[in-house]
Amino acid sequence: MSSLAQSKSSIDQSYNPTRFIKFYPNPATAVINFDFQKGYDATYSLLIFNFMGKKIYELKNTPSRININLEDFYRGIYIYQLRDRNGVTLESGKFQVVK
């Protein structure tokens, strides 16, 4: 195996973050869905922030599947955070709303 192939292989393996939730569709228009992939705990909270950092949505004691209506969301980029009961961020990501 060439050193380039070895390097790429180690990068691929090290960049394999364990995801708690899957979200779709992205970009979204009317609804975005969050589904737990593993490690579901009903005490988790899901928070959504606009790109300016203002919290615009919070759901405590999350179900294993979450459907969020985007009717009141403006077009743009949003950040989600999944937090445990102590407020520690377990996962974060971004999604886009297009209208």
Instruction: Evaluate if residue 2 carries a pLDDT over 50.
Output: no
Phi/psi at 85 (5° precision):
-65, -20
Mean pLDDT, the chain, integer? 86
Of the listed ranges 3-7, 45-49, 91-95, the least confidently predicted one is 3-7
Q: Write down the pLDDT at residue 39.
A: 82
Half-sphere exposure of 24 (CA within 13 A, CB side): 5
Across residues 55-69, what is the average pLDDT? 95
Residue 83 lies in a domain: yes
The pTM assigned to this predicted structure is 0.80
3-class SS at 7?
helix
- Number of domains composing the chain: 1
Residue 5 lies in a domain: no
Residue 2 lies in a domain: no
Residue 71 lies in a domain: yes
Residue 9 lies in a domain: no
**What CATH number did the domain enclosing 80 receive?**
2.60.40.10
Distance CA 77, CA 79 (A): 7
Q: Domain of 32?
A: 17-97
Residue 12 lies in a domain: no
